[in-house]
Amino acid sequence: MIEISGFGVVLLFLVGGIGFLMVTLIVGRMLRPSRPTAEKQTTYESGEEPSGTAWGQFNVRFYIIALIFLLFEAELVFLFPWATVFGKEELIQRTNGLWGKFSMIETFIFIGILLVGLAYVWAKGMLEWVRPKPKASTYKSKIPASAYDKFK
């Protein structure tokens, strides 16, 4: 009987996973219909037709708010594992409730740090969405305004 080491098992899983992926993609490509049209090839973003090029500049606030969201979301993910570890009744009974008090204090410190971060971001004005005021065009057209009257 052949004995496979731990690395061999990992290698077999990698080869099997890549093989399964490749077979699935090839079978899918052979079975699915392929009817590309100009409309299917366009980009789609939130139900809006794309306008201009993809190199347009975005307000930096999009990125700041997204990063702030990810920061707080990632931090809040840690609260559930804390609750399961710190809520073990056996540890609380063994320490006469000291473990429960410690876990509550640590959780409040953690939430306090998050609140300080939120207050900092709020105080810096990073959560305010300031819309730029539209600028009136100063372009003077050589075409007289009366030429547009027939299109109204």
pLDDT tens digits for range 90-118: 888 888 888 878 888 888 888 898 889 88
Query: What's the rounded Cα separation, in Å, for the pair 138 and 124?
Result: 34
Instruction: Answer yes or no: pTM beyond 0.95.
Output: no
Phi first, then psi: give them for residue 138, nearest 5 degrees. Answer: -105, 10
- Calculate the average pLDDT of the chain: 82
Helix runs in the chain, H state only: 6-31, 38-41, 60-77, 79-86, 89-94, 98-123
- Of these ranges, 30-34, 40-44, 62-66, 85-89, the one predicted with the greatest mean pLDDT is 30-34
Structure-block tokens of residue 2 = 């052949």
Residues 87, 95: contact at Cβ < 8 Å? no
Structure-block tokens of residue 120 = 């900092």
